[in-house]
Amino acid sequence: MACAGFGTRRQARTLGILGARRYVAALAQPLTPLLGSYIGGKWSIPTVNVSVGFAARGYHVVSVGHRLMPHVGITEVIEDLTDAYVWLRGNLPSILGDAVSLDDSVIYGGSAGGTLAFNTAASDAVRAHPPRALVFLYGGVDLTDKWYHTPQDIPLPPYLLPHADDESDLEAWVMDRDPSKAIMQNPWDDEVPPKASLAALRRHLGMPEYEVTTDVLFRIDAATYLTKLRRITATFLRREKFPDPEAWYAERARWSPVFIADRLDSLPPTYIMQGEDDEYVPLYEPKKLAAKLRERGWEVVEKYAPGGRHCFDWAYTSPEQQGWKDYIDPLLDFVDEKTGKRAAGLTTSQ
């Protein structure tokens, strides 16, 4: 479950923690809010409606990477993301000086990154200094749902390398649990030549020496393999550790936002957005989460795009587009309100 395609994105300025990248506010003022961005799949660079949209409104955007499966699972990934949140709070002032307000932070996640963002916001380390808002875009809500474990009729890219007829080489690789082999960045099939130029890939990653190696292509094929078998969730949550069905159900519930909400006593105001024709996350999922948050008495806003597919918002790269006005501006307005920027008159008209 992830979003593919470059869109239009700014080159990153890299920080020395977990591959984090920052996008400096175009309207930086004293106490500029901080937006932490988690993008699903193998992304660690936010889309233009994040890196440009929020920066134009005066936010410092930090895109946080994490170690990738299969060599680590969700426990290690959440550790990476919560460690990054704590590190940013402790170190950004020395990088940005007085130009950042750590108490006005926002956590934003899309696709698998939405599920990770929710888990991060719910962690003890983050709840000690909670964000002002949580943005949840088309992420998995109930990982016990059979949808995430049943193969779907979704178009898949062809393999980029030759593999064993029985795909045993791919199977062996996705079952490797050696964390020392974990990496933090790998492109999708449409980010590498011939679909995209190497120069564009390097620019968007902010890595001028980056090379597309055989290992990179193998990892792309492994992601295709897991998607075909509908085993991404099972791999990420380490299905093999839970042979008992009840234990496996409990582990999936442990990381599911709709169940996590029952264990919390509070949650930041939450903005939920998804396309109504999302092929990776059924529409009933975000609606289930919104109903749960309202049941708990917490603020939630829902926004659904008729005809929108997974990552539909990536098509909106300019405030002049109607889709930006319909879907990106309301999200930005919500975050402005929760960080106090609108009340303080610090935003600009988009």
pLDDT for residue 5? 34
d(CA 218, CA 161): 7
pLDDT for residue 293? 98
d(CA 154, CA 279): 7
Identify the segments of the chain with pLDDT beneath 50.
2, 4-17, 27-31, 44, 348-350
Token pair for 116 = 């990770």
pLDDT for residue 64? 83
- Domains of the chain plus CATH, in order, are 13-148+245-339 (3.40.50.1820), 151-241 (no CATH)
pLDDT for residue 308? 98
Q: Each residue of 251-269: pLDDT tens digit?
A: 999 999 999 999 999 999 9
Token pair for 240 = 């093999």
Q: Each residue of 288-317: pLDDT tens digit?
A: 999 999 999 999 999 999 999 999 999 999
* Tokens 């000086």 -> residue: 97
Whole-structure pTM value: 0.90
d(CA 33, CA 30): 9
pLDDT for residue 15? 46
> Considering only CA atoms, which of 27, 2, 12, 247 is closest in space to residue 112?
2
- Measured N-to-C along each axis, helices 74-96 and 112-121 cross at an angle, to the nearest 10 degrees, of 70
